[in-house]
Chains A and B, each alone.
Chain A
Amino acid sequence: MAIEVDGKSLETDEEGYLVNLDDWVPGVADIMAAEDDLVLGDEHWDIINFLREYYEEYQIAPAVRVLTKAVGKKLGKEKGNSKYLYALFPYGPGKQACRYAGLPKPTGCI
């Protein structure tokens, strides 16, 4: 499978995640979101950018609690919870937002 971004064809796996993490450009997130009938606003990008920064440092997506805490610190306590994240990313912040951010899918009992 592949997605078309900025005129380039980028390979994705059977679950729609980028195969080569280095292929990521912001357009990837927009195209993937459009496929899910979602338009990305600043709130979405705050999360996507945080995920990418965290991944860069730790080679894994952040735990839900780490993510909600960071969001709470930045955007106010009322937004520092998973309800807020699920409202933004209905398929789950870990899985949907990670895919948009070009991160590999978190695996395990989650």
Chain B
Amino acid sequence: MAKAEFDVPELQEYVDVPELQEDTMAHVKSFVVTKPEHNTDLGFPGELVEDWHDKALEKLDDLRGRYRSLQVFLDACVKCGSCTDKCHYFLGTKDPKNMPVGRQDLLRKVYRRYFTFAGKYFPKLVGAKDLTRETLDEWYNYYHQCSQCRRCSVFCPYGIDTAEISMAAREILDSIGYGQKYCNEIIGKVHKIGNNLGLPGPALEDTLEGLEEDMEDDFGVPVKFPLNVKGADILLVTPSADFFAEPHIDGLIGYGKVFHEAGASWTLSSTASEAGNFGMFIGSYENMRRVSMRIREAAQELGVKRIIFGECGHAWRVAYAFLNTLAGPFDFLDQKYPAPQHILEYTWEQIQAGKLNIDKSANDDMTLTFHDSCNVARATRIGDYPGSQFETPRNVIKAVCNNYVDMHHDSIGERTFCCGGGGGLLTDDLMEIRVKGALPRMTELQNVIKDKGVTHMAAICAICKSQFTKVLPYYGMDMDQIVSLHQLVSNAIVLTGQVTDDDEAESDAESEAEE
């Protein structure tokens, strides 16, 4: 395996705006689809089509007609420079094409050349450029160095959303057969198997049975992880990483314990065993819809009354903002509850209602901070009021932990920095951009570690958790310093009838005495 050779940025007290260095990341190119079915499964040509030039322009024309936002974003930029130092990938790489405006201009210059009066007749005056093979490759490289986190859009006076431009560019690339292996292979697996991992039903069943055994062994309480239970009240849709990876699975155990203590009737589904929806990352409405429909179909088949989403950042954006359009109406669900609802809303309700027996001291070996995930922070709420997406996670953490501090205010809330691995970049072939893009978050994490004694960072997104597990060691920290939020809940819950270590010691002593 070729090991990426690159310099890891050194952590300073704060991230300086770097001096520009052209093309430092021009060599970073995510693997392109080589097996045609990874494209054709999604409805795209298997390989780069011969008339890609005309087809790409046709698609751009189609998209600017379909999405008014895209047309506005391509027209509205006044080059004020406000966005330039807001992107974590620019801050970590110094490459001007990773400045949001630089990234946008890769598409904008072609748009101007073919679709505006000035660009058609006086291209040099307005920075309009022909679509060449070189430009096409630049699109591929640099639109796969954007995590669609939308931090730049918070600072743009016109609200230009680079994520939407990035999504449009990826859709154009897909439409001419120039797809990214990572995203497209995964979406194909969701269509065929039901989740990003390609985890078949029997394997999921085996994993869940193992968890139930562990609960019995560890606590003496039958905490269940039900699968495909018809007539259950709640369908839990969670990222498949929750079944597979660490620390994700510790979060899944937390959901199970909350449902158990709340006395809820709930189930997972083996056909809708994925909350994530990479259709959004590639800007494909059709694929996003197909992925979403699996959830609707599972909910109807199982006859549930509510749908709750587990800890997944972009899934929650799709669920909160688009699910009703994509797969609604959800009039068959119980209208007393939001459809869908976030697991944190549910847990917070249970805590407030006093349904959970909490021992906060169980987390006393840690001092926590919280990483706001971009899609949750800048596109959703977790509750029914503005800002609840920031407050609800913190409320829950503070209800289950004694030691909590925030990171610097410019790096949390709506100004949160991306983990560096979102938007379809969580793949080994992009490790260089992932590590460099994590610089701002790592900097602020290190500051609270040094100044406030923070030991762990909690997250509510499968991508964030996996990304940090991988990049923390590059910056001299430990991979297990990243935890699932519901892992903290799990640690603190004292299950009804739970056998504690003390009980065991006592009963051991008793049985010894009897002997």
State the A residues within 8 Å of B (CB).
13-16, 32, 35-36, 58-60, 62-66, 69, 82, 86, 91, 94-96, 99, 106-110
Given A14-B34, A66-B206, also A108-B276 (CB < 8 A): yes
- Residue numbers in B under 8 Å from A60 (CB-CB): 197-200, 203
Say whether B276 contacts A36, CB under 8 Å: no
The docked-state distance in angstroms from the alpha carbon of A99 to that of B428 is: 13
Query: In the complex, which residues 89-119 of chain B have their Cβ closer than 8 Å to any Cβ of chain A?
Result: none
- Residue numbers in A under 8 Å from B312 (CB-CB): 109
Smallest distance from the beta carbon of A110 to chain B beta carbons, Å?
4
State the B residues within 8 Å of A (CB).
1-2, 31, 34, 181-182, 185-186, 189, 195-200, 202-203, 206-207, 210-211, 214, 239-241, 243-246, 248-249, 276, 312, 426, 428-429, 462-463, 466, 479
- Residue numbers in B under 8 Å from A64 (CB-CB): 244-246, 249
The docked-state distance in angstroms from the alpha carbon of A91 to that of B429 is: 13
User: Which residue of chain B has its CB nearest to the CB of A95?
Assistant: B428
Say whether A110 contacts B197, CB under 8 Å: yes
Please provide the 7 A-B residue pairs with the shortest distance between their CB atoms, ordered closest to farther: A108-B196, A109-B462, A58-B203, A109-B241, A110-B245, A108-B197, A63-B244
Given A14-B34, A106-B244, A108-B195, also A65-B210 (CB < 8 A): yes
- Residue numbers in A under 8 Å from B463 (CB-CB): 109
Contact of B189 among A13, A95, A107, A109 (CB under 8 A): A107
The docked-state distance in angstroms from the alpha carbon of A59 to that of B181 is: 21
* A–B pairs, 13, beta carbons within 8 Å: A13-B34, A15-B429, A36-B1, A58-B206, A60-B197, A66-B206, A66-B207, A95-B428, A106-B197, A107-B197, A108-B195, A109-B245, A109-B426
- Residue numbers in A under 8 Å from B248 (CB-CB): 110
Contact of B185 among A36, A59, A63, A107 (CB under 8 A): A107
The docked-state distance in angstroms from the alpha carbon of A108 to that of B466 is: 10
Say whether B241 contacts A108, CB under 8 Å: yes
- Residue numbers in B under 8 Å from A96 (CB-CB): 1
User: Which residue of chain B has its CB nearest to the CB of A59?
Assistant: B200
- Residue numbers in A under 8 Å from B246 (CB-CB): 64-65, 82
Say whether A15 contacts B1, CB under 8 Å: yes
The docked-state distance in angstroms from the alpha carbon of A94 to that of B189 is: 18
- Residue numbers in B under 8 Å from A36 (CB-CB): 1
The docked-state distance in angstroms from the alpha carbon of A91 to that of B202 is: 28
Q: Which of B185, B197, B200, B312 has the most C-beta atoms of chain A within 10 angstroms of its own C-beta? A: B197
Given A64-B246, A108-B197, A110-B244, also A16-B186 (CB < 8 A): no
The docked-state distance in angstroms from the alpha carbon of A94 to that of B181 is: 19
Q: Which of A13, A58, A62, A91 has the most C-beta atoms of chain B within 10 angstroms of its own C-beta? A: A58
Contact of A107 among B198, B211, B239 (CB under 8 A): B198
- Residue numbers in B under 8 Å from A107 (CB-CB): 182, 185-186, 189, 196-198
- Residue numbers in A under 8 Å from B186 (CB-CB): 107-108
Q: Which of A60, A69, A95, A99 has the most C-beta atoms of chain B within 10 angstroms of its own C-beta? A: A60
The docked-state distance in angstroms from the alpha carbon of A106 to that of B427 is: 11
The docked-state distance in angstroms from the alpha carbon of A60 to that of B454 is: 37
- Residue numbers in B under 8 Å from A62 (CB-CB): 203, 207
Say whether A69 contacts B210, CB under 8 Å: yes
- Residue numbers in B under 8 Å from A59 (CB-CB): 200, 203
User: Which residue of chain A has its CB nearest to the CB of B467?
Assistant: A109
Given A16-B1, A64-B249, also A110-B241 (CB < 8 A): yes
Smallest distance from the beta carbon of A28 to chain B beta carbons, Å?
13
- Residue numbers in A under 8 Å from B1 (CB-CB): 15-16, 32, 35-36, 91, 96, 99
- Residue numbers in A under 8 Å from B198 (CB-CB): 60, 106-108
The docked-state distance in angstroms from the alpha carbon of A73 to that of B277 is: 36
User: Which residue of chain B has its CB nearest to the CB of A91?
Assistant: B1
Say whether B466 contacts A63, CB under 8 Å: no
The docked-state distance in angstroms from the alpha carbon of A35 to that of B239 is: 34
- Residue numbers in A under 8 Å from B243 (CB-CB): 63
Smallest distance from the beta carbon of B295 to chain A beta carbons, Å?
17
Say whether B241 contacts A15, CB under 8 Å: no
- Residue numbers in B under 8 Å from A95 (CB-CB): 428
- Residue numbers in B under 8 Å from A35 (CB-CB): 1
